[in-house]
Amino acid sequence: MYDFIDSIQQLISVFINHYQIPVMILVILWAVHILNTVIGKRLSILGIIPRRWFGLPGIAFAPWLHGDFNHIFFNSIPLFILLNFMLVGGTHTFVVSSVSIILLSGFLTWSFARPGIHIGASALIMGYMGFLLTNAYFHYTMTSLILAVLCLYYFAGLLLGLLPTEVRVSWEGHVFGFISGVTTAFFLPQLLHFTYSFPLFS
């Protein structure tokens, strides 16, 4: 019972003290989208273009680009909440996990997805889902369990995005994002240990 109360207090504390990070990320996301809209979607060419060398930079840029207002709006809500959930583990874990998910999901999308331009934060969102759900199993704590339950309760419908239901939706990005989240959670101790050798985290 005390573990549960302590975990809830920890969650509330993180949400209050670190809300600036999710807000800043969403502000950048929307600023990029507005700029892209104003210039006629020219930035969309920076998305992931599978198996083309000039499409490799899209691994880094794709999460910041969206096709239209509905795309970014319906990504913003779960992204904001899941960003807060990810920050519960600390900023180091948040940064390392986010970079791992973005790079791995992006590379898998570049390697195996259908031809076209793949953009959007959906792969990152699904990566966070995969991470939070499996982290409760690989690295069990009361807090990680609560976060996994909250993910399932509020965002279980997102898992339908793993199915190829719409032609224009990059379901491959969803799948590879989820796989990347699971993989990141599994190797999290090794990733954290490795990154502590960098000056940024030392």
Q: Which domains does the chain have, with CATH numbers?
A: 2-195 (1.20.1540.10)
For tokens 């999290």, the residue is 188
**pLDDT reported for residue 1:** 60
Task: Flag the least confident range among 67-76, 138-147, 193-202.
Answer: 193-202
23: enclosing H helix or E strand: helix 20-38
**pLDDT reported for residue 163:** 84
Q: Assign 139 to helix, strand or coil.
A: coil
| Confidence check: pLDDT of 52 > 90 | yes
Q: For the segment 97-142, what is each residue's pLDDT rounded down to a tens digit?
A: 999 999 999 999 999 999 999 999 999 999 999 999 999 999 889 9
Q: How far is CA 64 from the centre of its chain?
A: 11
Which pTM was predicted?
Answer: 0.94
Work out the mean pLDDT of the chain and round it to a whole number. Answer: 93
| Confidence check: pLDDT of 54 > 60 | yes
| Confidence check: pLDDT of 35 > 90 | yes
Answer for the pair 133, 148: CB distance below 8 angstroms, yes or no: yes
For 56, the token pair is: 């490799």
